[in-house]
């Protein structure tokens, strides 16, 4: 459900039927829900001139006149969850968050900070606990706080840096709780 959740709040159905994944990824927009989701997955991009590279590398590169041909998403077993916060429904996000846990590893992506999404790896011990559904509420709260501190936050008309940092802690904890629930099912 992570992919569905990541695009659910982007304007409306008619708009989404026109917007493309290629345009969303190539734009490398700071507010991008789409970039946040695909960074959490094991994704590569293929460009006409630059060839194939990890999406994380492409996301940091400067915009040029290359053409994005395809997005390659590896089909690993794993659980990915996505959440975002918006001040009002269908507005641009104030913060986006994706968490993936797979095979004793995991990662967290926070976007719309308001700069573009960035990814950090989860500590192996925490990833294993999440996969086993064994992290306590206190552990999740502490981990969410620690991980959100690793990102930088800025202010714009949608929210202050302090508010985004607070949201980072909340969305991360909720995403990790959701992963534990999914693993239990
Ligand atoms: C009102 C509004 C609200 C939005 N809200 C959100 C939101 O909340 N969350 C979110 O994630 N996004 C949001 N978006 C962005 C939207 O989802 C699309 O990502 C964006 O509009 C790009 O649209 P497009 O696919 O038509 O690309 P285009 O607008 O056609 O392209 C974007 C740019 O990329 C270039 N380009 C397109 N495809 C390629 C390619 N394959 N290779 C190389 N260059 C390419 C184009 O030349 C252009 O410069 C919003 C957009 C609008 C207008």
How far is ligand 1, taken at its centre, from the CA of residue 157, in Å? 21
pLDDT digits (tens, 9 = 90+) for 23-59: 999 999 999 999 999 999 989 999 999 999 999 999 9
Would the CB of 21 count as within 6 Å of ligand 1? no
Task: Specify the CATH architecture of the domain 2-73.
Answer: 2-Layer Sandwich (3.30)
* Residue 13, SS3 per DSSP: helix
- Phi and psi, residue 80, nearest 5°: -125, 135
pLDDT digits (tens, 9 = 90+) for 139-170: 999 999 999 999 999 999 999 999 999 999 99
Please check whether the domain covering 79-184 is classified as CATH 1.10.287.1770: no
Are the CB atoms for 142 and 135 separated by under 8 Å? no
- The residues of the chain that CATH labels 3.30.390.50 are 79-184
Are the CB atoms for 76 and 42 separated by under 8 Å? yes
Q: Tokens 């915009």 belong to which residue?
A: 63
Would the CB of 70 count as within 6 Å of ligand 1? no
């Amino acid at each position: 459900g992570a992919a569905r959740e990541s695009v659910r709040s982007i304007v409306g159905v008619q708009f989404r039927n026109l917007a493309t994944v290629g345009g969303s990824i190539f734009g490398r927009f700071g507010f991008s829900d789409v970039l946040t989701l695909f960074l959490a997955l094991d994704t590569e991009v293929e460009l006409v001139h630059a060839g194939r590279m990890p999406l994380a590398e492409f996301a940091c590169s400067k915009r040029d006149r290359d053409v994005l041909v395809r997005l390659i998403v590896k089909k690993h077993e794993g659980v990915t969850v996505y959440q975002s916060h918006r001040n009002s429904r269908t507005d641009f996000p104030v913060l986006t968050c994706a968490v993936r846990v797979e095979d004793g590893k995991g990662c967290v992506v926070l976007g719309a900070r308001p700069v573009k999404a960035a990814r950090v790896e989860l500590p192996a011990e925490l990833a294993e606990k999440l996969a086993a559904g064994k992290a306590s509420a206190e552990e999740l709260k502490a981990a969410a706080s620690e991980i959100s501190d690793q990102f930088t936050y800025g202010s714009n008309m949608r929210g202050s840096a302090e508010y985004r940092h607070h949201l980072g802690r909340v969305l991360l904890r909720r995403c990790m709780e959701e992963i534990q629930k999914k693993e239990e099912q």
